[in-house]
């Protein structure tokens, strides 16, 4: 097909942005021109990959957001995320409007880029909403798992609909509808409500996860399709450091620990990790882009690293202990390693529950993640061969996958539907 100009607008942590860079690479391989619109902190990464980049906001603004400990609260965390999305609403719209080429542009937006949905309506740009986690897609028939506000399959549909409506009225719309509609008014657009329903592009919605991880719910938006995990992790531009390679070569497979790329308040997690390794006489790799969280004066059996591509590291690990971010879950599944998940907020509890159902993980909620509980969970996944067998079985699903190609084809088809 003819070359298109694809605008990819993403918002979030490295784990949230990485999948969109994988999509960008596939679209460029197929002959399209790709521009990335994302927070300013990703400038160096995007430039290394050779894409046109439009920074949104400032690095300081993003750091203030990421540094807010409330982001990890199971209830209040969504308010912190909503505040960032609202603050960047207009900057995303302006960046999209400035870069679009009428008749030649397709817009790809992540879940929180509400300025992209407004640009779709105002400017008529063919648009694809891309969601990384199944929990973003509301369902009455197959509700996502939320431990503090659980919706069970046995509950009547009217009750689940009522709870969604109350969540909108008292929380989500209260945080987002005001700024979204204020900006819409400046563009002559009518107000909207039920933001978590409006956010899905009517052109196409893509779930970047396979059906075996999250079977489609019959009441998801009818324009929804599922492809699979992109698995981009900077491996082509960030090799394993020599220090880590030597560590991996010098002994038995370690346990890898990470609390997520956006975590700034993980000291207790890493202190626990060190003690767990001591109790189990296991080697460990501690991964954090903010190494000030990691204890000092570590024993030689513990290797702290700012970053390592999971596709290169995890196949050499015995297990993965993490926060439940969807990208980390996917990399663990691709590597075929047993997992222990410490979910905190957002999509993490639902992701963790899905790993549990697949038989590849133990789950210890953040409020219960003590040394004793973590040690027991890791002992179980390492000592019971059923976890390794399940992980190996799931890993086979990643062989010869063409998920990125499928995703690119759906994006191209949206433009064809507008031609």
Mean pLDDT per 10-residue segment, the chain (419 residues): 92 95 97 97 96 93 85 83 92 97 95 97 97 95 82 77 80 88 97 94 98 96 97 94 97 96 89 97 96 92 96 98 96 98 95 97 95 97 97 94 95 86
- pTM (two decimals): 0.95
pLDDT of residue 79: 86
Report whether 130 contacts 206 (CB < 8 A).
yes
Cross-strand pairs, 322:
341
Fold of the domain built from segment(s) 5-228+401-418: Rossmann fold (3.40.50)
346 and 338 Cβ atoms separated by less than 8 Å = no
User: What Rg value do the Cα atoms of the chain yield, rounded?
Assistant: 21
Where along the chain do the CATH 3.40.50.2000 domains lie? 5-228+401-418, 242-398
- For domain 242-398, give the CATH superfamily: Glycogen Phosphorylase B; (3.40.50.2000)
Q: What is the reported pLDDT for 77?
A: 81
DSSP string for residues in 291-357? GGGSPSS--TTEEEES---HHHHGGG-SEEEE---HHHHHHHHHHT--EEE---STTHHHHHHHHHH
H helices of 67-156, in order, are: 77-87, 89-99, 114-123
End-to-end CA distance of the chain: 12
């Amino acid at each position: 097909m003819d070359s298109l100009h694809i605008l990819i607008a993403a918002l979030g942590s490295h784990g949230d942005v990485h999948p969109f860079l994988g999509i960008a690479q596939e679209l460029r391989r197929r002959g399209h021109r790709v521009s990335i619109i994302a927070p300013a902190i990703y400038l160096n990464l995007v430039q290394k990959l050779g894409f046109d980049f439009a920074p949104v906001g400032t690095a300081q603004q993003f750091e203030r957001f990421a540094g807010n400990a409330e982001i990890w609260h199971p209830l209040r965390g969504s308010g912190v995320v909503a505040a960032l999305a609202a603050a960047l609403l207009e900057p995303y719209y302006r960046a999209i409007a400035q870069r679009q080429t009428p008749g030649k542009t397709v817009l790809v937006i992540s879940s929180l880029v509400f300025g992209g949905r407004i640009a779709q309506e105002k400017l008529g740009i063919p648009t694809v909403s891309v969601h990384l986690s199944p929990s973003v897609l509301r369902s009455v028939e197959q509700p996502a798992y939320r431990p503090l506000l659980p919706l069970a399959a046995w509950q009547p549909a009217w009750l689940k609909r009522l709870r969604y409506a109350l969540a909108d009225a008292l929380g989500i719309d209260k945080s987002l509808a005001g700024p979204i509609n204020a900006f819409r008014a400046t563009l002559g657009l009518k107000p909207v409500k039920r933001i978590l329903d409006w956010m899905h592009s009517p052109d196409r919605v893509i779930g970047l996860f396979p059906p075996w991880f999250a079977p489609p719910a019959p009441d998801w938006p009818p324009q929804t399709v599922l492809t699979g995990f992109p698995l981009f992790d900077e491996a082509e531009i960030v090799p394993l450091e020599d220090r880590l390679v030597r560590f991996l070569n010098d002994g038995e497979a370690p346990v890898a620990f990470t609390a997520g790329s956006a975590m700034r308040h993980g000291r207790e997690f890493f202190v626990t990790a060190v003690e767990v390794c001591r109790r189990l006489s296991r080697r460990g790799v501690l991964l954090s882009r903010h190494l000030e969280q990691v204890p000092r004066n570590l024993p030689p059996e513990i290797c702290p690293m700012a970053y390592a591509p999971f596709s290169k590291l995890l196949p050499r690990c015995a297990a993965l202990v993490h926060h439940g971010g969807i990208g980390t879950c996917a990399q663990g599944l691709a590597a075929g390693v047993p997992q222990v998940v410490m979910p905190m907020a957002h999509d993490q509890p639902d992701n963790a529950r899905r790993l549990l159902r697949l038989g590849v993980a133990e789950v210890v909620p953040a409020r219960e993640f003590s040394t004793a509980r973590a040690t027991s969970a890791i002992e179980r996944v390492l000592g019971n061969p059923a976890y390794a067998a399940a992980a190996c079985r799931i890993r086979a699903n990643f062989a010869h996958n063409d998920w990125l190609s499928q995703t690119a084809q759906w994006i191209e088809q949206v433009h064809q539907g507008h031609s």
